[in-house]
Amino acid sequence: MAAALWWRSITPSNDRDWAPDVARMTTGSLSLATHSGKRATIETSSTAPLASDATELVTLHNVRNFTWRSETDIDERWETRHYDLAQLSSVDLIVSYWTIPAIAHTLVSFGFDDGRHVVFSVEIRKEKGEEFSEIGGFLKRFELSVVAADERDIIGVRSKVRDEKVFLFRTQLNAADRRALFLAYIDEANTLAATPRFYHTLTANCTTIVFGMMQRIIGDLPWDYRLLASGYLPNYVYDLGGLDTRYDFAILERMGYVSRRVNAALSDAAAADAKEASGVEFSRAIRVGIPELSGKN
C-alpha cells in the first residue's frame, strides 16, 4: 500500500531545470484567412469544410533551430513559423539509430511547396545533466515533449554530432492524411504543454504516440512487434504500402541512408562560414538520390 501511494505521488511537471534543447515546448494554432483579410482561429481538430475564399494557416511557436558544433557548443534559436496547409506537399519518415538495429528514434518531416521542411519529434524532456535510460523510461523519470525543429538542427545533431545513422523514407500519405497528421502533432504538443505526461519506454514513446495518431486518422492499422522494436518501423510501414513500393525495401533503405549527405551539407556550410545557410538547400541536398513518389496527391 505504501509503495502504491508513493508511486501515485510521483507526478509529471513542466516546471524543471530543463536541458537547452528541450527548454521550451512547441505549441501551435490554426486560423482561417480570407481574401478580404479576415482571420479567425479555429480548433486544430476541426473537420468543417473550408469556404471557397479561405486559407488554413498554421502558426508554430518555439520551433527549434539550433546550430550544433558539439553537445555543449550550441547557438540557441527558438522561432515562430507560419505555414499554409494548402502547400503541405510531403511527409517523410526519418529513423535514427545509435545502437542495435531494433532500437531507433522516429521523426516525421513535413515538406511544403516552397521547399521548407519542419520536423516533429516526440522526445523525453531531460533535465540538465540527465541522460536517457530505457529503464528510467519505465520509472516515471522523464516527461514527454513534442519538439518541432528545422531539419538542419534535429537531423544534423543526430548525424554529425552524435554520430547516429539516419535514414529518410518518403511516405505515400494523401493530402487529407498529411493535413490530419500535421494537425495531430500540434494537438499533441498543445496537450503536453497544458498537461504534462510521463514518457514510457513501451507505451508512450516516439513511435507508439505517432502510431496512435495514425490509427485515429486511418484506422484499422494492425498491431505489430515492430511498433515496439522501432528500428524495424520502416519495414512495417513498407509492408502496409506506406512507402515507395516500386523498389524492394533493401534498395529503399540504401537510397534513404542520408547521414553522409547530412554531414557533407553541414561541413560545406561551415567551410563557407555560412552561419545562416538555407534550410531549403539543406533539405534538398540530403534528399539527392531518393526518388520522388509517383502519382502523389
Question: Which pLDDT tens digit goes with each residue over 14-59?
Answer: 999 999 999 999 999 999 876 655 566 666 655 555 555 578 999 9
CB 175 within 8 A of CB 144: no
Residue in this structure with the C-alpha cell 519518415, named with its chain if needed: 93
How much is the pTM?
0.91
First to last CA, the chain: 56
Which of 115, 244, 89, 293 minimizes the C-alpha distance to 178? 89
DSSP character for 221?
P
Secondary structure class of 109 (helix, strand, coil): strand
CB 243 within 8 A of CB 171: yes
- How far is it, in rounded angstroms, from Cα 281 to Cα 287? 10
Which of 64, 86, 33 minimizes the C-alpha distance to 148? 64
Which of 122, 103, 133, 141 minimizes the C-alpha distance to 204? 122
CB 33 within 8 A of CB 41: no
CB 12 within 8 A of CB 198: yes
Residues of the chain under the 70 pLDDT cut: 1-7, 9, 34-53, 136-137, 139, 270-277, 295-297
For residue 220, what pLDDT is reported? 85
For residue 95, what pLDDT is reported? 97
In sequence order, what are the residues at sequence separation of 6 or more whose Cβ sits closer than 8 angstroms to the Cβ of residue 278? none
And the C-alpha cell for 287? 534528399
CB 194 within 8 A of CB 131: no
Bridge partners, 55 (sequence order): 33
- How far is it, in rounded angstroms, from Cα 91 to Cα 263? 22
| The residue type at 29 | S
- How far is it, in rounded angstroms, from Cα 171 to Cα 175? 12
Q: Spell out a b/e string for 38-54, using b for 16 or more CB atoms within 10 Å of the CB, else e.
A: eeeeeebeeeeeeeeeb
Cα atoms found within 13 Å of the Cα of residue 110, Cβ hemisphere only: 24
